[in-house]
Amino acid sequence: MARNKLVNGSHGIWKYFNPAFYLRRPRRLALLIILFVSVSMVVWDRQSLSRDYQFEVSKLNEEVLRLQQMLEEIKSVTEDVFVKSLKDVQEDPVDAQRMQRVKEAMIHAWSSYEKYAWGQDELQPQTKDGVDSFGGLGATMIDALDTLYIMGLDEQFQKAREWVASSLDFDKDYAASMFETTIRVVGGLLSAYDLSGDKIFLEKATDIADRLLPAWDTQSGIPYNIINLKHGNAHNPTWAGGDSILADSGTEQLEFIALSERTGDPKYQQKVEKVISVLNKNFPADGLLPIYINPDTAKPSYSTITFGAMGDSFYEYLLKVWVFGNKTSTVKHYRDMWEKSMNGLLSLVRKSTPSSFTYICEKNGNLIDKMDELACFAPGMLALGASGYSDPAEGKKFLSLAEELAWTCYNFYQSTPTKLAGENYFFNSGSDMSVGTSWNILRPETVESLFYLWRLTANKTYQEWGWNIFEAFEKNSRIESGYVGLKDVNTGVKDNKMQSFFLAETLKYLYLLFSPTTVIPLDEWVFNTEAHPLKIKPRNDQVNLKQSNKVLLRKPAFRIRQRHYGRITKK
């Protein structure tokens, strides 16, 4: 009985799988069809939703990647709503032609140096020989390395590199300017390393920096400004009355911080950052320091305040170390000091009559209506720093000041018969400006500021001004055996010196003034005061500087050959 009941029960279950059962019962067949269709729709809908979801996720991932790439391209430019980005500016064929002209000028300057003064510090074009103005450190050779590389002059760069590797020797019984040696030699070698990745440049930079370090061994940490490269004994120039010079003492921070980052040895950074810490303890309310500082007490001596000679680059480096440090909280005190100094600068600004040229006075108790051409770096500095103000109105104010000062500096050139600027200018009521010291030694400061203003505003006027200055150099300073300065910008009488900074700065800034913005972009590189670009790296004081004695190798920052006029492709 039990078995028959089980069999009959099983038959009862299986009948529902028999089609004949439903054919005899239409209502149940209809219910089954409805159930099947409903289940099918649910399953299909879930699969469709899953596919749509995956598709949407894929699209969102692509969009996120695209936005990340865009963010990487524009980076800090978005911080400033009033500073225009040049990413979308198309390459101008006129700019390309002008770049080529500047490149040809560099080839002429370099080939003249190579022919008549190879390995010496500077060329004397009129007598067709060389002179060791900096103790035989190959100043022009090292100053020109990065310019050659940026312009794509590979053969010339490689030949110079071989000289550095085989002939550059710093073991000299020579009392070197710590300032000039740092900005030209240390800066030039580090820039060549950052651009090419060739560690011979880093090794040489480390060698010369080690020879400079004893200069900081003072009671206060404010360095002496002259040091013997062989014996290490340091002192200050007698004409400074035993004091250290502001610019000479506060313009090593970029190079020595960069050296610590690239070698992993903190000693270089520690020396130079102590200088800023000491000065910041008693930094004046207006942020303006006299040009002489006592190296024992770190107290300023009563002397001139100026944005020209002996003061200039101290203020420049307050801003640039902040930029070089990725604008992080670690370097915020640099920015704070710089902003305080810029407020102080406003107290030195006057306008001439009748033409309302804006200029920066010097101060020695009272204001002196005199401005050095050296102070024409200030428009570029102000433009570079304008976007960092938390108040956009402040940024606009200082950008406007930068543009006004650039117009004055351009007129330093336009106001002379040769269209080249004198060394300094005096301003007199009712007669605008007049040349003071009338020589021109191929200085770069005005074209430097034009470069920054062009990159940061996209105003082509600055390119036109730069081109006019370049043509004036071509007309008045170019001779068969190189480039010379002028003893007098009024008469055009020539001197006998091709300054190394003409190749390092003047021609480089002119070249970059007409180059695509992907050549040394300002959000990835910082120029030292000798126009040597240093690559911005993530700043990590706790990690990078513990790797003592370990060389941090770099890949070349640019591929070897992209266009006939130079390298423009980023990594």
Active site residues: 180, 312, 423, 445
- Report the distance separating Cα 474 and Cα 105, nearest Å: 8
546: CB partners within 8 A, 6+ apart:
264, 266
What DSSP letter does each residue of 63-132 carry, written as one string? HHHHHHHHHHHHGGGGG-SSSPP-TTPPPPHHHHHHHHHHHHHHHHHHHHHHHH-TTSSEEETTTTEEE-
Whether residue 372 contacts residue 319, with contact meaning beta carbons closer than 8 Å, is answered with no
Determine whether 509 is exposed, middle or buried from the number of CB atoms within 10 Å of its CB (0-12, 13-18, 19+).
Answer: buried
3-class DSSP assignment, residue 344: helix
Task: Pick the closest to residue 124 from 506, 484, 478, 474 (CA basis).
Answer: 484
- Report the distance separating Cα 63 and Cα 71, nearest Å: 12
Distances in Å between the Cα of 99 and the Cα atoms of 102, 151, 277, 530 are 5, 9, 42, 20
Task: Pick the closest to residue 500 from 447, 566, 418, 443 (CA basis).
Answer: 443
Name the CA radius of gyration of the chain, rounded. Answer: 33
Structure tokens at 61: 């991932």
* Element holding 525 (H helix, E strand): strand 525-527
- Any bridge partners for residue 235, and if so which? 226
What DSSP letter does each residue of 297-328 carry, written as one string? T-PBPS--B-SSTTTHHHHHHHHHHHHHTTT-
3-class DSSP assignment, residue 438: coil
- Report the distance separating Cα 430 and Cα 493, nearest Å: 29
Determine whether 455 is exposed, middle or buried from the number of CB atoms within 10 Å of its CB (0-12, 13-18, 19+).
Answer: buried
149: CB partners within 8 A, 6+ apart:
157, 192, 195, 196, 558, 567
Between strands 432-435 and 424-428, the pairing is antiparallel
Whole-angstrom distance between the N-terminal and C-terminal Cα of the chain?
88
- Report the distance separating Cα 497 and Cα 481, nearest Å: 11
Distances in Å between the Cα of 53 and the Cα atoms of 47, 49, 62, 136 are 10, 6, 14, 70
Distances in Å between the Cα of 18 and the Cα atoms of 9, 11, 21, 135 are 15, 11, 6, 108
3-class DSSP assignment, residue 168: coil
